[in-house]
Chain A
Amino acid sequence: MSVYIPITPSDRAGMLERIGVQSEAVLFEDIPEKIRLKEGLDLGKPMSEHELMKELGALAAKNAPASCRPCFLGAGAYDRLIPSVIRHMTSRSEFYTAYTPYQPEISQGTLQAIFEFQTMIASLTGMDVANASMYDGASACAEAVIMAARQTRRGRVLVSETLHPDTRRVIDTYARFNSIEPVSVPAKQGVTDMEALSSLVGDDVCGVVVQSPNFFGLIEDAAAAADITHGKGALYIAYTSDALSLAVLKSPGASGADIAVGEGQSFGIPMCYGGPWLGFMAVKAPLMRKLPGRIVGQSVDMDGKRSFVLTLQAREQHIRREKATSNICSNQGLNALSATIYLSLLGADGLKEAAKRSMDGARYLKAQLEAAGFKALYSGPFFDEFAFALPGDTARAEAALQAAGYVGGLALDGLLPAADAAGDGLGAMLVCVTEKRTREELDGFVSALRAAY
């Protein structure tokens, strides 16, 4: 008997009688004998809550979470402050045990929260409309590429070399199965080479994907890239891997983006070893009816009360089937709620301040590293991540930082553009400084590194 199953043996007897069968086994006789499972599932005995937590506790003890140490890893996942209010609100079971808001009269909470999310994301990205349906930034970016290909009926997409490698991999996967050819745009000094972009963009290009701040932390000249893109009638797809940067950087919309996609994990969502996170997608009005997934719209009820409802459903799979804009049928509801709460608590000022503190810390760290003899790889403007060269192999730095209790940055071995590779036996590291890092931690990081070489 499971504590999650309320039907008693005597209930069963009565129910079987009402159905008119002798036993539950009869209800499964439509499964042909040949494929009916003879043995029980080999999954052990049911565990009590207490036993479960003991076993899980033993596994937990084998994890050394970055969030509990000074963490300098960024590269797509950000160790940011998460207000306690978020967990309390998302733990309200009216939110987390609800389904997709198909019945709007009893789902106004989810619907309004998504409407608020759409408003915030559209504004932060400088776009007209946003959905709340993307799984994560990388798959959102791949969906954007498909959208661009369908919209322009062209088969090549240009992807900057400075894009997060995971996002590039996901684009490659989706592109392969949609007969889209991804073409790399080389980088120069850590940013997209605009001359190369100009020469690559042609009448057969559906879109151009550029990330800013890019994988190396540098701020791209998105407006220039968008101009070049539009010159050939292609769509400019702006990718944001660290959503906090939107607080201080010119928005994708203001830079001329047609589609803004990215990862919203920075907005109050735990790193959680990579998921579940929060992709976002926002577009300018002409692309509104091409958006994938769920969209919430404002309307009125029979009494004229403002209310919210899933809308523009003629795009979606349950109506359009194979002609839908996408196969996505979920929304990222609970994580969109987390982000909405995060953005509400911080507000415009708090968000800007969190971004500023991250930037201050990153610049302080860069100055200290330079003073200690380490060289930054690039000199362009950056947000809160930057790459620097190591005077020896990366493993040495990683080991020293780990021993000193730090979660070091990302080893860039094999991830740098060929022209920027440090050379044999020399490594490079990408570090991130969030608003969580204190001066003491930054100083300690530099000392540990200095001691390593």
Chain B
Amino acid sequence: MAKHYDKLIFEISSDGKEGYLLPDTGVEGDFSKDAIPEELARADEPVLPRVSEPEAVRHFTRLSQENYGVDGGFYPLGSCTMKYNPKINEDAAAMEAFCGLHPCQPESDAQGVLRLMYELGEMLSEITGMAQFSLQPAAGAHGELSGLMIFKAWHEKNGQADRKRIIVPDSSHGTNPASAAEAGFEIVQIKSAADGTVDIDALAAALDDKTAGLMLTNPNTLGLFETRIGEIADMVHSAGGLLYYDGANMNAIMGYARPGDMGFDVVHVNTHKTFSTPHGGGGPGAGPIGVSAALAPYLPGPVVARSGDFYTLEAAGENSIGKVRSFYGSIGVLVRAWCYIKTMGGDGLKSASETAVLNANYLKELLKGKYKLPYDVVCKHEFVLDGLAEAQGGVRTLDVAKRLIDLGYHPPTIYFPLIVENAIMIEPTETESLETLDSFAEAMLRVADEAVSCPDILLEAPTTALVRRIDELKAAKEPVLVWQG
């Protein structure tokens, strides 16, 4: 293990060093002298380092060694689907034929990528049961925002602009209400039923002629399938609302069920969850959205269309919500998703979901008892524990997470969903071996024992990471957000 590296790039800088040689352009003469009037020109020098190439490489290599990634170990982060990122997909996305394309090139120069985009849309339609996809949104939350804009545009078009309320369960992802607010809606939050699913009575009470729609994750954030989804969809639709599917948990149901068949009107998928594209330390991702046939005219444009063997970018029609970002989407990410679906095939995707669900249920069985399991039923691809069954010394969920770091694991998601006070949310995904699942369970059980026998180990943890617990309060109270020099 590397030692902690404590240098910012600015602190290894010295004058006279450079890290990249620019080629000679052959243009002779100082054409740009005085080209920018003094009052428009930059007077100060920006804070940038002067380093040689090997120094830069060592700096960033050492930074990488301070990180935990899926390739290095198990990452059971609930709601995030940290599955393996296939290497061939990285090779594919790095091909100059894709990453060298300028977005304003004529369609005839871009037939390969346009066909790939068209095919990806079709494949996502098949997987989700939606009529048409837009690949434009740049992330899951961006897909949510785009989808809710479609809700609003549709209601406005139908003369129902006063449908201003979006219903979300209290177990929903924080992005759901935040996206709805950014699309101009008011939020109505409904309590979950005792079994963790949508409370049908609360939903009925919330629905009225101001309802624009309901946002739902299915399986929900507890990892439980909303079995009454058919009834829920009927209720929302007969109240004049629309149904939004948060695709964060799509990895649970591929080949088993489709949001389109459940009655959802708009769906987003997170390519960086379900379709194996890397999370990249937080991004970039992609959040394509699929819609029912009735809502297709509202999608952001342009969309890829096919005419014989030629693919074109069709401008959006008058009902479209318009563009939600520049150009057409996170193409480099979408290339990887296309590759993933091709290498899995229909059966492979089904097997992925089946195995993800098997792994989650298996771990749940191993951990319940020493950890509280508030919903002891079959789960889908993830499950939520409500902290330790027994603990001493004030040990809580956070300490369990920190202790797992010492034992070589990335901790699960903690304190989410908000309806489970001491939540530990575990999503193993399908790409882990039985040996890994068993070892992780062993580690979790060991931590549970330590919480009783020697709680200080948890409270002090981590001690083997390159840094120890960080003072988050100080960071927020005295913000230092740029290097102080």
Q: How far, in angstroms, from A381 to B281 measured CA to CA in the complex?
A: 40
Give B94-129 as 1s and 0s: 1 = Cβ < 8 Å from A's Cβ atoms.
111111111111101111110110000001001100
**What is the 8 Å Cβ interface bit string for chain A, positions 87-109, against chain B (1 contact, 0 not)?**
11101111111111111111111
Confirm or deny: A363 has a beta carbon within 8 angstroms of a beta carbon on chain B: yes
Contact of B278 among A26, A42, A96, A103 (CB under 8 A): A96
A148 at the interface (CB under 8 A from B): no
For A47, A105, A139, A322, which residue has the most chain B Cβ atoms within 10 angstroms?
Answer: A105
Q: A89-B61, A300-B471 are in contact. Are A96 and B175 (CB under 8 A)?
A: no
B392 interface contact, C-beta 8 A = no
Interface pair A99/B80, CB less than 8 Å apart: yes
Q: Using A6-B431, A89-B60, A439-B25 as known contacts, say yes or no to A63 and B110 having CB atoms under 8 A apart.
A: yes
Verify A5–B103 contact, CB threshold 8 A.
no
Chain A residue at minimal CB-CB distance from B108: A64
With A98-B69, A107-B68 in contact, do A439 and B92 touch (Cβ < 8 Å)? no
Mark contacts of B266-308 with chain A using CB atoms, 8 A cut-off: 1 yes-contact digit, 0 otherwise: 0000000000101111111110000000000000100000000
Is B139's beta carbon under 8 Å from chain A?
yes
A15 and B92 contacting across the interface, CB-CB below 8 Å = no
Contact between A247 and B42, CB atoms less than 8 A apart: yes
Minimum Cβ distance to chain B for residue A279 (Å): 9
- With an 8 A cutoff between CB atoms, is B222 at the interface? no
Partner of B184, one of A42, A53, A177: A177
Cβ-defined partner of B174 (8 Å) among A108, A317, A437: A317
Q: Is A24 an interface residue (CB 8 A)?
A: yes
Closest 3 CB pairs of A and B: A274-B327, A67-B100, A65-B100
Instruction: Give the contacts of A316-366 with B (CB-CB under 8 A).
Output: 316-324, 326-335, 337, 340-341, 343-351, 353-354, 356-357, 359-361, 363-364
* A–B pairs, 22, beta carbons within 8 Å: A21-B361, A35-B229, A60-B97, A65-B97, A93-B70, A94-B71, A95-B67, A102-B413, A115-B483, A119-B47, A135-B142, A170-B326, A176-B321, A246-B46, A250-B39, A251-B44, A272-B331, A305-B467, A317-B141, A329-B141, A347-B51, A398-B106
Binary interface encoding of chain B residues 453-481 relative to chain A, with 1 for a CB under 8 A from any of its CBs, else 0: 00000000010011111111011100111
- A60 vs B72: C-alpha distance in the bound complex, in angstroms? 32
Let me know if B99 and A92 touch, CB within 8 A: no
B415's nearest neighbour on chain A, judged by CB, is A318
- Is the pair B36, A381 in contact by a Cβ cutoff of 8 Å? yes
Q: Find out whether the CB atom of A116 lies under 8 angstroms from the CB atom of B345.
A: no
B443–chain A nearest beta-carbon distance, Å = 15
B482 pairs with A129, CB closer than 8 A: yes
B101–A272 touching, CB < 8 Å:
yes
- Known contacts A5-B355, A96-B280, A170-B326; is-contact A105 B480 (Cβ 8 Å): no
Do B323 and A27 have beta carbons less than 8 Å apart? no
Return A223 CB to nearest CB of chain B, in Å: 7
* B6, CB-defined interface residue at 8 Å: yes
B170: min CB distance to chain A, Å = 10
Q: Are A322 and B180 in contact (CB under 8 A)?
A: yes
Is B451 an interface residue, CB under 8 A from the partner? no
Q: Which residues of A contact B378 (CB under 8 A)?
A: 21, 26-27, 29-30
> Please, how many angstroms separate the alpha-carbon atoms of A63 and B102 in the complex?
11
In the complex, how many angstroms separate the beta carbon of A420 from the nearest chain B beta carbon? 20
B interface residues, tally (CB under 8 Å): 199
Residues of B within 8 A of A55 (CB): 342
Given the known inter-chain contacts A100-B282, A357-B25, please indicate yes or no for A59 contacting B115, CB distance below 8 A: yes
Give every chain A residue within 8 A of B64 (Cβ-Cβ). Answer: 89, 92, 94-95, 109
**A76 in the interface, Cβ–Cβ < 8 Å?**
yes
Q: Is there an interface contact between A299 and B475, defined as CB atoms closer than 8 Å?
A: yes
Does chain B have a CB within 8 A of A404? no
Q: Given the known A-B contacts A299-B474, A328-B141, A350-B19, are A63 and B482 also in contact in the complex, defined by CB atoms under 8 Å?
A: no
With A49-B343, A354-B22 as given contacts, are A335 and B178 in contact (CB-CB < 8 Å)?
no
A170 in complex: contacting residue of B17, B41, B324, CB < 8 Å:
B324
The chain A residue sitting closest to B377, CB to CB, is A30
The 0/1 profile, CB within 8 Å of A marked 1, for residues 169-199 of chain B is: 0000011011111111001000000000000
Please report the C-alpha to C-alpha distance between residue A381 and residue B33 in the assembled complex, in whole angstroms: 12
Asked if B202 is at the interface (CB within 8 A of a chain A CB), the reply is: no
A317 smallest CB distance to B (angstroms): 4
Contact of B326 among A167, A306, A437, A438 (CB under 8 A): A167
Once the chains bind, are A318 and B416 in contact (CB under 8 Å)? Answer: yes
Q: Is the CB of A49 within 8 A of B88?
A: yes
Contact A263 B326 (CB under 8 A): yes
Residues of A within 8 A of B51 (CB): 344-345, 347
**B59 on interface, CB distance cutoff 8 Å:** yes
Please, which residue of chain B has its CB at the minimum distance from the CB of A127?
B482
CA distance A68 to B96 in the complex (A): 8
In the complex, given contacts A48-B343, A130-B482, A381-B35, what are 19 additional A-B residue pairs having Cβ atoms less than 8 angstroms apart?
Answer: A7-B355, A59-B113, A65-B100, A85-B57, A89-B64, A93-B69, A96-B278, A98-B70, A103-B405, A105-B402, A123-B46, A272-B99, A272-B332, A275-B329, A277-B284, A323-B181, A324-B181, A347-B18, A360-B25
A79 → chain B closest CB, angstroms: 7
Contact with B366, one of A18, A250, A296 (Cβ below 8 angstroms) = A18
Choose from A31, A254, A300 the contact partner of B470 (Cβ within 8 Å): A300
Q: Are A360 and B27 also in contact (CB < 8 A) when A6-B433, A248-B41, A330-B141 are?
A: yes
A335 touches B175 (CB 8 A): no
